Structure 1
Amino acid sequence: MKFIKAEEIQKHWFSDEKDYEEVLKAISTCLGKHIIFAQVKEDTLKAMVVLDITKVVVIKALAIKDENLLPIVIRLVKQKYKNKDLICEVDGIDLRGFGFVEGRYVRSEHLEDSFLDESGLVERYPIKVSEKQIVLNYLSQFFEAGRFYSEREVNEVLKAHISFQDYVTLRRDLFDFNYLTRSLDGGTYEKIM
């Protein structure tokens, strides 16, 4: 996805005149700075989001031609505006699976986002203990309670959710900070409830 200016919106990208008019209307109702992200492939609009940037980020319009692009669009917006709450004003879009409650995404309820890349992977492991705990708590959700994991399985779970290589430190800290318990022989791990 790339940033485009409002004046670069081209009518022929839209398969429906109504969609084009909706986007223009959304742009005209922006109170702050409006930003548009769009993905155009083979001269056809595949996905677009119009954002109104004030103290919060308001999603004013969302045009998604391929449902597989919705998670990418939402992650992009969350990544780009890590310090702002998000509000979705688009009717008929259910964003509950992306952390929105009643159309609102409150940053203070999703502290882990500060450490995630646009793919939803942890991109860095912080130095401060309080921030480490945010990351470890986030990663612990990928382990099932009551299930025993070998060290290799713990490593695989961690590798699937981080974009850097230091899964060993994360595994050790999950144990040291009491997110996982380890058998006496060190062979198996289990999530602490």
Structure 2
Amino acid sequence: LSVLLFCVAVHAQKQRYQNKEYGFAMDEPEGWLWANNDDLKQNLGKLDLDNAKLLKIILDHKGSLLLMSYYKYDPMTKAGLIPAVQVNVREMRNKDFSIFKSYIVKSANSFKDLYPDYEFIDEPKEVRVNRIKSVYFSGKFTMKTQMGEIYRVRSRTYVIPHGDFYFQIVLTDGVVTEDCSKLFEDLIDSIKIKK
């Protein structure tokens, strides 16, 4: 009986994404597809990187480096709305939180330039992620596919400062269909950031 219980406990354990170089960890969405640059992940692990070198890597990637992304379905085989999770690390230009937050609010408002019907579900506000003062906002907008199908899309964005960098987590699902709210809440709750 104890062997059986041990097997069940091992099977129930979630897979975690960890990036030791930038100090970020989060549960992986079970059954979703990994869509990352594995070469970058392998190369980062081989290098002895201090903060200056990590910052240079971000700057070499035009100020934003994709750490991870997951898709619920394969975009090559499924048309339409595909829920996604994406984590980028970016350069932290100002460490004063109020100035940083105002920059994020301005950036959030620029979604209205990209999507004319974009509207906030949650206006940008201060939240805590892994006990770190962060910024969160969510919105909804209409997306039209090349085939002319129309979808109502919801995006949730968390922005977490961390020393010389900040993490931007974007969680995308549907307003009507493909609601991933519970999964996304669990993923955010699972975030750990190394001090």
Q: Into which bin does the TM-score normalised by the smaller protein fall?
A: under 0.3
TM-score, normalised by the number of residues in structure 2: 0.22
In terms of Rg, which structure is larger? 1
TM-score, normalised by the number of residues in structure 1: 0.22
Larger RCO: Structure 1 or Structure 2 (Cα < 8 Å, ≥ 6 residues apart)? 2
User: More helix per residue: 1 or 2?
Assistant: 1
